Chain A
Amino acid sequence: MAKAKVATTSLCGCFGCHMSLLDIDDRILKLVELVDFNKSPINDIKEFTERCTVGLIEGGCCNEENVRVLRDFRKHCDILISVGDCATMGGIPAMRNTIPLKECLDEAYLNGPTVHNPSGQIPNDPEIPLLLNRVYPCHEVVKIDYHLPGCPPSADTLWEALVALLTDKPVALPYELIKYD
């Protein structure tokens, strides 16, 4: 049987969910037998080279590049999974959602107690992705098929869900694997 193709990305996240995936210990040897990674920071493949069975999304959408990458994942993946609380509800970055964007930028680049910025400029280079007005959970941008909550989801949660999907079984997580922290 051909190995399933898996792609992963970290949008507006901290890479903690990717670290949790690596935390599956020696099961990573079994994972290598089950899947090939396509676009992913794990192997540093930057663009999709083929269609993937599963796409794992870490982080929500805080800028235009996140939205572009997320839509690219939706286009290339059969099953898209929001991994972790940032992808699911915005997470820590979404704390800025109750504060106007200009106030956030002013605090970060002009008014913050530790800011040293003699030019008084707020970064605005065309190469820097434009920030969105707020942080969006992934399912508010594209259709998401599964949510794995947690900050990060435990290695067991990721393993159980991934193996169930790749072996055509229902994703039925036991009580102790659904956690929001």
Chain B
Amino acid sequence: MSETITFTIDGKEVSAQPGQTIMQAADAAGIYIPRLCAFEGLVPHGSCRVCTVMVNGRAQAACTQPVADGIVVENDTEKLLAIRRDIIEMLFVEGNHYCMFCEKSGNCELQALAYRFGIAAPKYPYLFPKREIDATHPDIFIDRNRCVLCGRCVRASRDVDGKGVFEFVGRGPQKRVAVNAEANLADTDLKTSDKAVEVCPVGAILRKRVGYAVPVGRRRYDHKPIGSDIEQAASKK
């Protein structure tokens, strides 16, 4: 099967292979669609809705929606930017995101999205929820204050590591990441080399004794917005 599909994103013609998602096709074309739960190599989840695009006038998650011939996709519009900005702001007020002492700061994808969207402060009231920390594991900890429920750890542990260490429990505001053990993280077979530890976009799952390894000014998003690697890769072609 090598038939090529063509469609447009914000008026620009993009070609793709059947079976690709809109996000995969956009990445290849150097068009960045903002995302949080999507991660290359993991099954798309479609849960964070940051990658929402309009497909023929209907809102769809670009990470799960397959390409089709002739579809008209809107990505970089005022309306979608407002929706995405609202989602990011809600994620900030729904958790306890103390960037000032978080080891992930500067390399955090949630923070980087807020920077890219130029958010100085969320417009919603902070909820200050009470969340649990699990530091029982000798090498890894979970700080649920920072968790955005993207499900990357759940998918990575289940599909890549083949362990199923993490799973969601509860619904709505009570939803949280739980560990598959009698009690705590220490009782699982999670290892620091697991994909599940690496993929956390925020500082919710971190390796211990790493600390603030990279100085301010040399971290991933200190100078370049998230997504600029995708945009630049295309401009070099």
Contacts and interface: CB of A to CB of B under 8 A. Distances in A.
Interface stretch (A33-41, A72-80, A117-125, A142-150): A142-150
A interface: dominant SS: mixed
B1 interface: no
Interface stretch (A24-32, A85-93, A104-112): A85-93
13 contacts: A85-B100, A94-B128, A97-B128, A98-B130, A98-B131, A140-B126, A147-B120, A149-B120, A149-B121, A175-B116, A176-B222, A180-B100, A180-B114
B121 A139 contact: yes
B213 interface: no
Contacts, number: 64
Contacts of A82: 121
Nearest to B122: A89
B120 A89 contact: no
Interface in B100-148: 100-102, 105-106, 111, 114-116, 118-122, 125-126, 128-131
Contact of A178 (B100, B118, B131): B118
A139 B118 CA distance: 18
Contacts of A175: 115-116, 118, 223, 225
B69 to A, nearest CB: 37
A5 interface: no
A139 B120 CA distance: 13
Interface residues of B, number: 28
Contacts of A88: 120-121
Interface of B: 96-102, 105-106, 111, 114-116, 118-122, 125-126, 128-131, 216, 222-223, 225
Contacts of A134: 128
Given A139-B121, A148-B120, A181-B105, A176 B111 contact: no
B223 A176 contact: yes
Listed from nearest, the 8 A-B pairs whose CB atoms lie closest are A151-B100, A180-B99, A147-B121, A97-B128, A147-B120, A98-B130, A181-B105, A181-B99
